[in-house]
């Protein structure tokens, strides 16, 4: 079949790979001039197989008044800027029960564990250069309640083949001495030995080069997808601002921008764009080698080949990027305060970046066929698109291959 992949972020590029592996000819249509220029460009770099915990959980509810009053520097809620937030927010709050949180966490964990296997297989075959390493991950925990919750989830995770360890603060500091120089507000940590890091942008660039050299994959850059031509209930072509491209099937991989195209075809993927930020700084003498996630400050520190990536924050304000300068300055200021020797903060070049996480209320991505024959989606990966990319791409490629 001739399959169009709409969008060339990490999800689109991996989807193209697994479609090509199944023998389809693929055209990737992307409005930018290159791959992975948007949400997949400079994310936290964590292949976070072990930490798929749903953002919607009972513990979120008591935090809500504080968030709405703007008292958490890491989260900005500007509901009035984008009224679509209300409908999405109600659905999100409905997921904040213990049962739903467990169900959503387990569903995403299953996808993550499959991805962990697939990325290794892919890397064995293609040997791409993307700062890939099994460095492990430490999530520092600020209270005894967080430790208890981590112990409970540890059992469920283990049932899915994901082994984690709950450590005391001392054990964590022995494992990663860089923690000694960080804010000492943590009382323990979760350690996931097999979690990995990698640069999603570098990976996407390497994979697309390999695909162009080895598989029937065509790139149509600088073309904005405007709609689909459908006849007799089946996708016939993709309409772009320049022309129409005839196809047998199309997979929507437009991340935070997937909503309008899908809605005009009777599917609402319930995606809200949640802005986050990163900086990439040169390493310092005391940089961590293990990835660190600080839940209290909603920030991660990952070691990549080109330096330390510090990423985080979550702004619910629609597609607003007007406050990037202030938000990135705040991220940097907090990072330097809580981890003063983790990176070289004096560097001139800090590579500031912002991206919109395509978040669904459940935290689960939307993957598979739609009501329209030949129209598929692989979108809504929220905070974990890099981690989940290979598994959801494999899955949607399998669904496409079932089309008669």
Ligand X SMILES: Cc1cc2nc3c(=O)[nH]c(=O)nc-3n(C[C@H](O)[C@H](O)[C@H](O)COP(=O)(O)OP(=O)(O)OC[C@H]3O[C@@H](n4cnc5c(N)ncnc54)[C@H](O)[C@@H]3O)c2cc1C
Q: Which pairing describes strands 217-221 and 25-30: parallel, antiparallel, or unpaired?
A: parallel
Q: 340, exposed or middle or buried, with CB in 10 Å at 0-12, 13-18, 19+?
A: middle
Min. distance of Cβ 99 from ligand X in angstroms? 25
CA torsion 358→362→364→365, rounded to 10°? -40
Asked if 9 interacts with ligand X (CB under 6 A), we say yes
Of residues 39 and 370, the one with the C-beta less far from ligand X: 39
Give 48 or 362: the residue with its C-beta nearer to ligand X: 48
Separation in Å, CA 35 to CA 11, 28, 48, 202, 226: 10, 10, 22, 10, 19
Q: Kindly state the tokens that stand for 113.
A: 């564990």
Nearest to 195 by CA among 124, 134, 139: 134
Locate 64 and state its tokens.
Answer: 């809500």
- For position 277 contacting ligand X by CB under 6 A, the verdict is yes
Residue 335 near ligand X by CB under 6 A: no
| Distance from C-alpha of 306 to C-alpha of 78, rounded to nearest angstrom | 34
Phi, psi of 130 (to 5 degrees): -145, 40
Q: What angle do CA 227, 232, 237 make, to 5 degrees?
A: 35
DSSP-derived secondary structure for 42-111: S---EE-SS----SSSTTHHHHHHHHHTT--TTEEE-GGG-THHHHHHHHHHHT-SHHHHHHHHHHHHHH
- Give the closest residue to 6 by CA, choosing from 33, 37, 31: 31
Q: Which of 8, 16, 26, 375 binds ligand X (CB under 6 A)?
A: 8
278 lies in the site for ligand X, by CB under 6 A: yes
Site string for ligand X, 291-330 (x = CB under 6 A): ---------x----------x-------------------
Do residues 346 and 289 lie in contact, with contact meaning Cβ atoms separated by under 8 Å?
no
Q: Does residue 369 interact with ligand X by CB under 6 A?
A: no
Does residue 46 bind ligand X (CB under 6 A)? yes
**Torsion 251-106-58-165 (CA) sign:** negative
Least Cβ distance, residue 342 to ligand X (angstroms): 16
Q: Which is nearer to ligand X, 276 or 369 (CB)?
A: 276
Task: Please count the residues of this chain forming the interface with ligand X, following the rule CB under 6 A.
Answer: 44
Interface residue with ligand X among 225, 290, 338, 390 (CB under 6 A) is 225
For ligand X, which stretch binds (CB under 6 A), given 20-28, 50-58, 354-362, 390-398?
354-362
Q: Which range of residues in 16-24, 187-195, 243-251, 271-279 is near ligand X by CB under 6 A?
A: 271-279
Nearer Cβ to ligand X (265/379): 379
Among residue numbers 242 through 261, which ones bind ligand X (CB under 6 A)?
253-257
| Beta-bridge partners for 373 | 234
The residue among 145 and 229 lying less far from ligand X, judged by its C-beta, is 229
Whose tokens are 């409908």? That residue is 87
Q: Binding of ligand X at residue 379 (CB under 6 A)?
A: yes
Near ligand X by CB under 6 A: residue from 3, 4, 11, 332: 11
Nearest CB to ligand X, comparing residues 148 and 209 = 209
Establish if 37 lies at the interface with ligand X (CB under 6 A). yes
Pick from 30, 176, 195, 315 the residue near ligand X by CB under 6 A: 30
Compute the distance between CA of residue 271 and CA of residue 280 in angstroms, rounded to an integer: 27
First vs last Cα of the chain: how many Å apart?
Answer: 10
Q: Which residue lies nearer to ligand X by CB, 173 or 382?
A: 382
> Would you give the binding string for ligand X spanning residues 201-220, x where CB under 6 A is met?
--------------------
Binding of residue 54 to ligand X (CB under 6 A): no
Indicate whether 395 belongs to the interface with ligand X (CB under 6 A).
no
Structure tokens of 6?
A: 């709409």
Do 11 and 385 meet the contact criterion of CB atoms below 8 Å apart?
yes
* 237 interacts with ligand X by CB under 6 A: no
Q: Kindly state whether residue 34 participates in binding ligand X, applying the rule CB under 6 A.
A: no
Nearer to ligand X, 29 or 139 (CB): 29
* Selected range binding ligand X among 60-68, 73-81, 183-191, 275-283, rule: CB under 6 A: 275-283
- List residues near ligand X by CB under 6 A: 6-12, 29-32, 36-40, 43-46, 48, 224-225, 253-257, 276-278, 300, 311, 355, 357-358, 379, 381-387
């Amino acid at each position: 079949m001739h399959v169009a992949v709409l969008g060339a972020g990490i999800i689109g590029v991996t989807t193209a790979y697994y479609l090509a592996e199944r023998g389809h000819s693929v055209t990737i249509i992307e409005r930018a001039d290159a791959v992975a220029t948007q949400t997949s460009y400079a994310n936290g770099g964590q292949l976070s197989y072990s930490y798929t915990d749903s953002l919607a959980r009972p513990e979120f509810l008591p935090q809500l008044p504080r968030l709405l009053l703007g008292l958490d520097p890491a989260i900005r809620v500007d509901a009035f800027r984008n009224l679509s937030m209300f409908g999405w927010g109600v659905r999100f709050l409905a997921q904040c029960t213990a049962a739903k949180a467990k169900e959503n966490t387990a569903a995403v964990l299953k996808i993550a564990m499959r991805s962990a296997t697939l990325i290794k297989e892919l890397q064995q075959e293609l040997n791409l250069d993307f700062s890939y390493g099994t460095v492990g991950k430490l999530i520092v925990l600020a209270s005894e309640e967080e430790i208890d919750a981590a112990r409970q989830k540890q059992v469920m995770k283990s049932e899915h083949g994901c082994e984690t360890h709950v450590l005391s603060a001392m054990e964590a500091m022995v494992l990663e001495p860089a923690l000694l120089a960080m804010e000492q507000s943590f009382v323990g940590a979760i350690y996931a030995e097999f979690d990995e890091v990698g640069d999603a942008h570098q990976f996407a660039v390497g994979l697309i080069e390999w695909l162009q050299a080895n598989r029937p994959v065509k790139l149509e850059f600088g073309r904005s997808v405007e709609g689909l031509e459908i006849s007799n209930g089946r996708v016939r072509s993709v309409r772009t601002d320049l022309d129409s491209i005839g196809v047998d099937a199309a997979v929507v991989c437009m991340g935070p921008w997937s909503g309008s195209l899908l809605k005009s075809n009777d599917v609402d993927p319930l995606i809200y764009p949640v802005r986050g930020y990163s900086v990439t700084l040169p390493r310092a003498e005391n940089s961590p080698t293990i990835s660190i996630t600080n839940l209290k400050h909603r920030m991660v520190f990952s070691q990549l080949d080109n330096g330390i990536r510090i990423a985080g924050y979550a702004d619910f304000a629609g597609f607003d990027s007007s406050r990037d300068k202030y938000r990135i300055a705040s991220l940097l200021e907090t990072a330097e305060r809580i981890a003063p020797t983790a990176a070289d903060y004096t560097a001139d070049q800090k590579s500031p970046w912002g991206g919109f996480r395509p978040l669904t209320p459940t935290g689960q991505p939307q993957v598979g066929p739609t009501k329209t024959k030949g129209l598929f989606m692989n979108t809504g990966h929220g905070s974990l698109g890099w981690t989940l990319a290979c598994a959801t791409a494999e899955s949607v490629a399998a669904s496409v291959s079932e089309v008669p």
